[in-house]
Amino acid sequence: MDISRIGVVGAGQMGNGIAHVFALAGYDVIVTDVSEAALDKARGTIESNLDRQVRGDKITAEARDAALGRISTTLTLADIGQTDLVIEAATEREAIKTKIFEDLVPHLAPHTLLTSNTSSISITRLASRTDRPEKFMGFHFMNPVPVMQLVELIRGIATDRDTFDALHKVVESLGKTAATAEDFPAFIVNRILMPMINEAIYALFEGVGSVEALDTSMKLGANHPMGPLELADFIGLDTCLAIMNVLHDGFADTKYRPCPLLTKYVEAGWLGRKTGRGFYDYSGDTPRPTR
């Protein structure tokens, strides 16, 4: 299966990172979003991140320029229908993702593979809303995409072997490593990571330790590069809550119950770095704990 043209749905943090790595690997990429401002911001972010790689001697200036030349943008979802591979990287809400695939199906080429970058939602269920569940897979990149080496490949119940093999080769062509996960809520990484973050929030909620004490303990006591609350802010507290709700609903097990404090922060709009405030306040030069 020859894959050379990539369609990316969503120009946010994950979408622009996915476009970045595919373009750098030699693929032609078209990115779509509902907002022109989001597309402009994504292109600026990609250019900035490529520049950083040039300064760090990770890539050449020629490679940067070639990658930027391979990326185009559109406000029309149908424009990506004739690509070889579509990667949906929209907000982590099933209703939004389902609507995207339903709107895209009439415009697809017969051979187009469909994938979702979802971090937790059922691949089998998303695939069932398309005309090609056998050509549908979970294609979960880690954040930040240009830096992180892992890609989770998740087969739905109907995914065929050719689709899996083709996407495994795509991961290798990006210089990344694939891990195969079964289609259970949150797959591998978030099945393990999110309950740890949620437990750290419970420890804060119950007064076991402060934000600083909890993060310092896990960094120095467990050798984690980031503390769990710092990491939650980086991921986005709304995303953390969405994944915990998927786990809680999917397994009906109280051990996955989202901490009420996490819910309160999301209700307040304190979503972490992207809003300037979460478990840390990012308004100054140095992040300051908010509790």
Q: Are residue 230 and residue 117 in the same domain, yes or no?
A: no
Is 190 labeled as catalytic in the residue annotation?
yes
pTM score = 0.90
End-to-end CA distance of the chain: 53
Active-site residue, from 119, 120, 122, 198? 119
Tokens linked to 10: 């969503």
- Per-residue pLDDT tens digits for 122-164: 999 999 999 999 999 999 999 999 999 999 999 999 999 999 9
User: Which pair of tokens denotes residue 229?
Assistant: 């609350």
Q: Is 11 annotated as a binding residue?
A: yes
* Residues 76 and 178 occupy one common structural domain: yes
Q: How many structural domains is the chain composed of?
A: 2
Mean predicted confidence (pLDDT) in 82-99: 95
Q: Please identify, among 133, 160, 182, the residue that sits at the C-terminal boundary of a domain.
A: 182
Catalytic status, residue 182:
no
107 flagged as catalytic? no
Choose among 39, 34, 142, 18: nearest CA to 83: 18
The verdict on whether residue 252 carries a ligand-binding annotation is no
pLDDT for the residue numbered 1 = 74
Pull the structure tokens for residue 37. Answer: 């401002």
16 annotated ligand binder: no
Q: Final residue of a domain: which of 147, 182, 217? A: 182
Instruction: Give the CATH number for residue 262.
Output: 1.10.1040.10
CA distance 174 to 26: 9
Of 162, 182, 202, the position where a domain reaches its end is 182
| 117 known ligand binder | no
Indicate if 151 and 221 belong to the same structural domain. Answer: no
Q: Give the model's pLDDT for residue 76.
A: 97
* Same domain flag for 134 and 178: yes
Task: Identify whether residues 284 and 195 lie together within a single domain.
Answer: yes
- Claim to verify: residue 139 and residue 195 sit in the same structural domain: no
Q: Tell me, yes or no, whether 195 and 171 share the same domain.
A: no
Residue span of the structural domain in which 250 resides? 189-289
- Which candidate in 94, 116, 140, 198 is catalytic? 140
Task: Confirm whether residue 92 is marked as ligand binding.
Answer: yes
- Segment 249-265 mean pLDDT: 97
What three-state secondary structure class fits 51? helix
Q: Does the active-site annotation cover 152? A: yes
d(Cα 145, Cα 176) in Å, to the nearest integer?
A: 10
